[in-house]
Structure 1
């Protein structure tokens, strides 16, 4: 197995390493491995070429958090992102990395209260993450000053150019301190990107990561809405309901892996744990048992599962969401191999819905919602299995050693009661609903709204009523959730709650058949 680089080898501080360990990040992605040492040790500008979903936020975020000062009254770093969803995600990720350091991070984007943004900026923030239009707005208002910013990051620069933000980007860069360090990340390198680099960047390093196809075909992908406390019960039900479960359960941290594996073993499942602290000898022993199906549930971290050559898994379960879309695809790609279909199941807690939708969008895949198996369904399946086992035993077994005891049992009472007593003695924990823990229903995070652009307007015969009907024809959604409808000559806008908007986008994406989708997220410039 190839040598695995660890975050601690990149020069990061103990505080940051502890934050990474808490999040379950053990091994850096290629863009992180190449970029972090350059940023920590050098002052050159950097152009990073890597597709979305490869862990770029940590690649630039960790070194910036290491190098900026404790809380100041001025902006030390500005990060420009093409959409508010990406801006929110970047800010959330950086907040999770900063540990206990007094560093304030603020987001500024269209659709968010301007007064709230103004108040936060007046109070003083160290890192601003925002979309081009709203950043320009604050620069014009003088509520945002970049004259002391040490770092300027353009995230997904090619996407911003595609959305028509070149002038805004150049405007922002003219406001930044001339001695700042500039970091430009882009999936592609069109001439416009290189022109910006030539005009605004000094001496720079180029970091390239080989593009990988983030898709998988033979894997059925589903997710369950579940609270953190109910994940284990949900996992148990999934294993129980399958005739022959044979899969890997991915956890974020080594502690989680040990906890889940121990609980599975306590419940009688054939399971074991694999993570970075497992010795090579133990690893080989565990994998031999797993490959020979002496154990059928392997609980592992991403790093520990690397390099496994196992082709016939029935399931991959994301007990915890992975670091990024690339990791998600690597995980689920371990099933659905060798021409066999497999199932990938992801547990999503109420605060993780946005990240799930991000993974789905970047990995260009469909992950559908399903219900956790009901207790009564589990019990019915177990009863059927017991019946099948007994039928096989009756047809093929030899019972000489048991006949005398069976005859004595028949004398104890009614034969049916005797049989009931035997079944209860052997299966009472499995066949009685009261012995199963309840799984509470949860409501996934549904905060915020999304503005949608629809490429149909009055010239297509659209009005408010027809536009609502057009959407409802594809997606079952209450009309009262479709708000702020604006029907213009050749196109229209509507606003939906975040979750419903994602469902609408997914529905129309399926229909586009190689063409541009008729319904898209409205960009900041035109909405």
Structure 2
């Protein structure tokens, strides 16, 4: 409990401190320091401003759990969120923070069987986390009654308004009791949020993390100036030059997501995509694969990625530059978490330099210009990775199954030729310089290079990167 001193100062009980210690929490984040004491000791409603990845779920969950009466019947708190993924994530997070308390959480969202949710609600639920559409469905069916709430929480409030949920929120609020505490949490603070707050909240405080604290300290922020037609080549070089790449690639449109995923798979990468047209079942399967690192590249639109919480991402790639500085802050907040280093890379075309300047100014971001990795640099990194992997296998003597075969091959042929043939068989043309397009610095493209390479689309027999039996998973390095 020694590590929990800072949390204890906020007024949290030993029961809560034990739960936090089990989860590996060490010290509260700025938004938690601001909101937890206010919710534990004050009577005012609260608007909290904090970006993705700053611990805002714990900021409102911990005091709610502390103040909740386990013996009281009925739904005691409802948390409204904009997306299905966020509903699942927030419910899981609150459940993990409750410790030994006898409290039940339930995420409710479209795409999941209604009957299953109704059964859970009838058995009794203390905290509901849901999307506006499905919450309204349950209210209309009278399977969700909100007349004895202690807390009403609006999470990702700015995104809720952007997605047009204002009317839905008002309808849900009309079904709730008056004597409840209301909490709004948002990454940004547009005037619309303050208008809604003045309409529905009582006396409220705005708790805002200072702009300097919105900067992601553990994330290196860089940009590449690159032409639209060269973005995919630049993406492949970044993935290949970074050992253990595990990241999210952000695209502007659903079509962009589909195209990038298709090209990545064609080129031999393990990639999946999510956007608004993908079914809920497929989205959940994709996220499970990504979180378990069976897939190390997730391509997504901003809305589809809302609420995705993966703690150890190495990279965030802005394949399409964000339209607004707030979106940039949201995106890069997904890497460099929990004390780990992360890298955020933004692809910027020459005509988008103005947008980049605005992001730097409004978000207070220090984004440095870098050169796209050269082909020689990429190949060197891949070779070093291979040599390190082979060195580990040799050191561990983890090749007994193949030792006799190797001895026979070496007796019959030149050892260098044997090794080269095996590498050709396993890696095909992955170490061939001609498989990479040449990109000029500053985003210009050398037209003469078009005819100097073999089209990757013609490589129908190229092996998948994960089909190489003698090669360890990229994510295990």
TM-score normalized with structure 2 length: 0.49
Which structure has more helix as a fraction of its residues? 2
Radius of gyration: which is bigger?
1
The structure with higher relative contact order (CA 8 Å, sep 6+) is: 2
